[in-house]
Amino acid sequence: MECLLVTGGAGFIGSHLVRLAVERGLRVVDLDALTYAGNPRNLEGIPTERHVFVEGSVNDRALLARLLEEHRPDAVIHLAAESHVDRSLDDPTLFVRTNINGTFELLEATLDHWKGIGPGERERFRYLQVSTDEVYGSVKTGFSREGDPYDPRSPYAASKAAADHLVRSFHHAHGLPTLVTSCGNNYGPRQAPEKLIPRAILCLLAGERLPIYGRGENVRDWIFVEDHCRALLEVVGQGEPGRTYHVGAEDRRRNLDVASTICAVLDELRPRADGARHEESIAFVEDRPGHDLRYALDVSRIRDELGWEAELSFEDGLRRTVSWYLENDAWVTEALARPDALSRQGLGRTERT
């Protein structure tokens, strides 16, 4: 592959993917609407000879058609989305518009383009949908496997599930060479402060309490973002069209344990001025409505068929993440200046405490 069209490339995962692809010598056309979650700073330092940034929406079919025609990418990797569960509880409108309608526009534009290219190019072309383990809903015991029924339980998860169904339907009905990946919770540098790990780090650094939903019992499958991005390039390059691949580091932890580990790392790297332990700042707050208890992915397919495995342990990845937030004041200051950067979302339709 020589050229990728990546959507959502100014977001958290997208910016790591663009960086990795460019490092590997690929040319990347990066389409991002720069919503509150998109951050041009995330793209700083990426060489512009191999990175074309286009500000625009996946809902704009004419723009999509023009980009496909002009750049003739070998693959489309679709990450652009509204991605925060809590926001989807307050107002799912944008989730439907971006995650479902936007995916539909991208599929239509991609199908038109794919039908018009020569046989060799058509054979090589791929479309990769970047999805989430949340489409399976809460898994009491055991693991979700590729092909398991979907049971999404938040508007965010439902919108991602709908998009996945559309993607598969374009493969079955039209032969579009699509792939779907489902991944658990990513963490790493440049993640917007509204998500658990950056929020915890930034609250602690600001001397504020570290809010944990409910009793912190919810279990998530954690993966360092660069491992996820390596998997995406593996799947788009080697995966079999029509198939779904789970991506995970097989590292499942309760939110409370994640918070305690962050506290321990900060005790070492940035001890509190008053000598107290950071863990003392943990505060339990009202739970997320309908909070899924546990997600867990079976990742044997990607390991056995494509030979991919996560490289970073949670402890090492977290240390790198905390260090990055400590060393990147300008990024942090700007991210915190955005509206609602650390404020609680997701209680808008229930009574606020």
Residues of the shown chain interacting with ligand NAD in the complex, contacts defined by CB under 6 A:
7-8, 10-14, 31-35, 37-38, 57-59, 79-81, 83, 98, 102, 130, 132, 160, 183, 185-186, 192
Closest CB 209 distance from ligand NAD, rounded Å: 24
C-alpha to C-alpha distance for 331 and 209, rounded to whole angstroms: 22
Is residue 133 among the annotated active site residues?
Answer: yes
130 versus 322: smaller Cβ distance to ligand NAD: 130
- Catalytic annotation, pick one of 32, 82, 105, 133: 133
Closest CB 279 distance from ligand NAD, rounded Å: 24
7 versus 218: smaller Cβ distance to ligand NAD: 7
Is residue 127 among the annotated active site residues?
Answer: no
Buried b (16+ CB within 10 A) or exposed e, 35-60: bebbbeebbeebeeebbbbbebbbbb
117 versus 306: smaller Cβ distance to ligand NAD: 306
Q: Which residue is nearest to ligand NAD (CB)?
A: 11
Q: How far apart are the first and last CA of the chain?
A: 52
Residue 247 phi, psi dihedral angles, 5° rounding? -125, 125
C-alpha to C-alpha distance for 264 and 219, rounded to whole angstroms: 19
Closest CB 76 distance from ligand NAD, rounded Å: 13
Is residue 295 among the annotated active site residues?
Answer: no
Closest CB 241 distance from ligand NAD, rounded Å: 20
38 versus 92: smaller Cβ distance to ligand NAD: 38
Residue 71 phi, psi dihedral angles, 5° rounding? -100, -15
Q: Checking phi first, is residue 190 left (phi over 0); if not, alpha (psi -120 to 50) or beta?
A: left
CB atoms within 10 A of CB 286: 15
Residues recognised as catalytic = 133-134, 156
